[in-house]
Amino acid sequence: MATRSDAPEVRESIEAKVTKDVEMTDAPDASTAEAKQPESTVSAKPAESEKMDIDAGANADADADADADADGEADADGDIDVDADADADADGEVDADADADGDPDDGVASPVESEPGDLLDVIQTISSTVSNYKDEDGEWWAASFQRIPNKRQLPDYFEIIENPIAFSTIRHKIQKKLYTDFPEFVRDLAQICHNAQVYNRPSSAIFKSATVIRDLFKKELQKLVAKGTIKSEEAELPDLGELPPAEDSSPEAESEEDEGEEEEEEEEEEEDDESDDDGKRRRSRRRGRTSLTKRQLEEAREEDEHKKRGRPPKVLTPLEARIHNVIKGLRKFQSDDGDLLIGPFEKLPDKLANPDYYQVITNPIALDNIKRNAKRKKYSTVDDALKDIDLMFNNAKEYNEEASDIYEAAVELQRQARELVAQEKSRPDDEFRDEDGKLPLSEIQHNGQAWRVGKFCSRDWVHIRNVNDMAKPIVAQIFRTWQDRAGQRWINACWYYRPEQTVHRFEKHFFENEVAKTGQYRDHQIEEVLDRCFVMFVTRFNKGRPRTLPADKEVYVCESRYNEATCKFNKIKTWTSCVPDEVREKDYEMKLFDQPRRLKKVPSPIKHLLQADAKETDELPKPTWGAANAPPIIGAVHRRPRESNVSLDVIHSVFPAVIPFVWSIRAALGRTGVVQEYGTHDLHEYHTYSLTVPPPG
């Protein structure tokens, strides 16, 4: 079951940091009891009295209607950010979601020992109901309000919000029996919603979540009034003040897609890391509610326009849209008990728990496999997808007894799937334009060449006209292609910045021809595309070049992501997380060098821009912007303190053999406090280690 497409914004704001610092357990309620049920799968042979856990399967489908972001920047889908520094929260409060899985824990806070109907019991019940509320799509609306943010992660939050509070605060007060009257609790919960609406812009998902929670709370209070549990005046929400006016952002600027495809553990980790950075960036755009001068506001808006970013637009081709609609349509059918029939087919059974399933079924497949195949463009026709859907249901009929619930569900869903396919095939392609009139194209013909995602060397890297500096075209990778209602053809491409377009410490060194991946996914008319180029991950750059790449095409090397909000470079651990879904399982053929080449780092090309009076205490400088839809004209350098894990870059190599070399030069370096990095590498991964020479004393 799909979550809201803008769910990643949940992690961008108020209480978006969940760490595993202290674990607590809550009284089980309806939602947590449901979460404890064993997950039903295609293989399950349930007893007649056994209920299938449809919600567990549905939640597993969090990426059904949203592409995994290829750069792994956010991720996603309404789950909660993990505190990157693993610190305890500044407020010292307990976690509501200790495992950081994005769902209410099986228990959140132990119920107080009280007689039914007393004050704390009523507070505990309504607090748990609101805190754990999920809608019919499985969206956990209070996920972002479970804890107060970390002060070091969001210092300005505590400047704007006078009374920080979260559901963890309420649970703590319930446990300690600190509530002496019901209005005090009402004020606390209302304050949670009010804080979120003060700090965040009205167009953000977090603002909407606060509104939903507030409305739900009011309804629950009225239920208590109707039962005579509380008085009507006790159900009134206090006036906490008006919401401050703020320039709202455009839906386009704020739109974020579901990111994060649960496949490889390391890929998930990469996406989580970048999502933390991305969340901070988006939060920085929303900090406009403090007292600012008109000039400051204008400057902020100007900078925001340049940093405007997003995700590749979710533009499905007619084929992709048809398959998507078939899968979505299968989720509408329910049993007599109201359970989704598709629930048991969401995932394959656990091999350890159901080994006999894999002895009986020779070609196992589940709905999540089909969705992944569709995302990876593995189906050439709708009928190809239908073959896998038929296989899934036939497997269920083969393994389960004919009279079982799963067998009957398979028969019914198989019939419905064929009807859905027939309906989708009868629709003309033009019906699949999105609300903006975009008609996805499989490729674009331009200057006698075909341009599409993954067309050339398994990837389509391009040079795009840079109006800020025509001599330095934008290095980018195509992620989407489409045509608007006027017939204009477009691409959406991820930008890669050159070193001189970034802000960094003056001592930083770069590889020759290095670029850094950004979070900028920009739309360009096809006429802006100048030529092909290629970007190689650092682990392969020293070994050779793409075999089919013409010798006159520029080849760049990439080692890091660049976070424009913090001006930090983060080493990329998994290259596949940076490329489009369509090419993640593809590779390009290499023309190898006779022997690997040593990679050399050179000083920053803008080192000379450092001000003579620059100090470590200076504010972070800003790049110089020009045209809106282009990288900065020039970046900036500073003398601010180095990050604790950042290399001085005096010596750098990607050869494992550098280890003895590092130790051989230790005496030469002396006690200088230099952090030296060396790397091991394979086809798609780069592992960095550090050796530190201690400072004097």
Domain 319-430 has CATH 1.20.920.10: yes
Give the Å distances, CA to CA, from 26 to 112, 263, 288.
Answer: 10, 31, 37
DSSP string, 108-139: SSPPP---TTSHHHHHHHHHHHHHT-B-TT--
Q: Strand 601-603 vs strand 509-511: parallel, antiparallel, or unpaired?
A: antiparallel
Q: Which of 172-181, 294-303, 342-351, 437-446 has the lowest mean pLDDT?
A: 294-303
Residue 674 pLDDT greater than 50, yes or no: no
Mean pLDDT for the chain? 73
What is the tens place of the pLDDT at every residue in 651-667? 443 344 443 444 444 44
More confident residue, 245 or 481: 481
What is the tens place of the pLDDT at every residue in 292-313? 444 544 555 555 544 555 556 6
Architecture label for domain 1-33+71-246 = Up-down Bundle (1.20)
Q: Which of 366-380, 404-418, 497-511, 521-535 has the lowest mean pLDDT?
A: 366-380
What is the tens place of the pLDDT at every residue in 191-248? 999 999 888 888 778 888 999 999 999 999 999 999 999 998 999 999 888 776 644 3
According to DSSP, the residues that pair with 511 across neighbouring strands are 601
Share of the chain above pLDDT 70, in %: 64
Give the Å distances, CA to CA, from 304 to 206, 284, 296, 321, 549.
Answer: 20, 9, 12, 33, 37
- pLDDT at position 442, please? 78
Residue 594 pLDDT greater than 50, yes or no: yes
Q: Do domains 1-33+71-246 and 319-430 have the same CATH topology?
A: yes
What is the tens place of the pLDDT at every residue in 604-650? 999 999 999 999 999 999 999 999 899 999 999 999 998 755 444 43
- pLDDT at position 460, please? 85
What is the tens place of the pLDDT at every residue in 403-420? 899 999 999 999 999 999
- pLDDT at position 309, please? 52
- pLDDT at position 650, please? 39
List all residues 6 or more positions away from 100 whose beta carbon is below 8 Å from its beta carbon.
18, 19, 20, 79, 80, 81, 82
Residue 24 pLDDT greater than 60, yes or no: no
Contact 42, 348 (CB under 8 A): yes
Residue 675 pLDDT greater than 70, yes or no: no
Query: How far, in Å, CA of 564 to CA of 278, rounded?
Result: 9
* C-alpha gyration radius of the chain: 27
What backbone phi and psi angles, to 5 degrees, belong to 629?
-95, 50
- pLDDT at position 312, please? 63
Query: How far, in Å, CA of 131 to CA of 688, rounded?
Result: 41
- pLDDT at position 465, please? 96
Share of the chain above pLDDT 90, in %: 41
- pLDDT at position 270, please? 38
Hey, how many other C-beta atoms are within 10 angstroms of the C-beta on 75? 32
What is the tens place of the pLDDT at every residue in 485-520? 888 999 989 999 999 999 999 999 999 999 999 999
Q: What is the pTM of this model?
A: 0.47
pLDDT band at 455 (very low <50, low <70, confident <90, very high): low
List all residues 6 or more positions away from 285 whose beta carbon is below 8 Å from its beta carbon.
249, 253, 304, 307
Q: What is the mean pLDDT of residues 125-150?
A: 88
Query: How far, in Å, CA of 34 to CA of 27, rounded?
Result: 13
According to DSSP, the residues that pair with 208 across neighbouring strands are none
- pLDDT at position 299, please? 52
For the chain, domain boundaries = 1-33+71-246, 319-430, 439-640, 642-697
Domain 439-640 superfamily per CATH: Bromo adjacent homology (BAH) domain (2.30.30.490)
- pLDDT at position 311, please? 58
pLDDT band at 354 (very low <50, low <70, confident <90, very high): confident
More confident residue, 512 or 261: 512
Residue 59 pLDDT greater than 60, yes or no: no
More confident residue, 382 or 95: 382
CA atoms within 13 Å, Cβ hemisphere of 660: 1
